[in-house]
Amino acid sequence: MKIAVINGPNLNLVGRREPEIYGHMSMDEYLCGLVSQFPDVSFVTYQSNHEGDIIDELQRVGFDVDGIVLNAGAYTHTSIAIADAIRAITAPVVEVHISDVQSREPYRRVSMIKDACVAVIAGYGLDSYRRAVEWLIERHPND
Ligand code: DQA
Q: What CATH number is associated with residue 13?
A: 3.40.50.9100
Position in ligand 1 atom list of the atom nearest CA 74: 6
**Number of the ligand 1 atom closest to the C-alpha atom of 10:** 12
The percent of residues in the chain predicted with pLDDT above 70, rounded, is 98
State the residue range of the domain holding 33. Answer: 2-139
Predicted confidence at residue 140, as pLDDT, reads 76
Nearest CA to 133 among 43, 15, 56, 51? 43
| pLDDT tens digits, one per residue of 54-108 | 999 999 999 999 999 999 999 999 999 999 999 999 999 999 999 999 999 999 9
Rounded to the nearest whole angstrom, what is the distance from the C-alpha of residue 58 to the centroid of ligand 1?
18
Amino acid 11: pLDDT: 98
Strands (E) across the chain are located at 2-7, 42-47, 67-71, 93-97, 119-122
Per residue in 30-45, pLDDT (tens digit) is 999 999 999 999 999 9
How far is ligand 1, taken at its centre, from the CA of residue 123, in Å? 10
Q: What domain count does the chain have?
A: 1
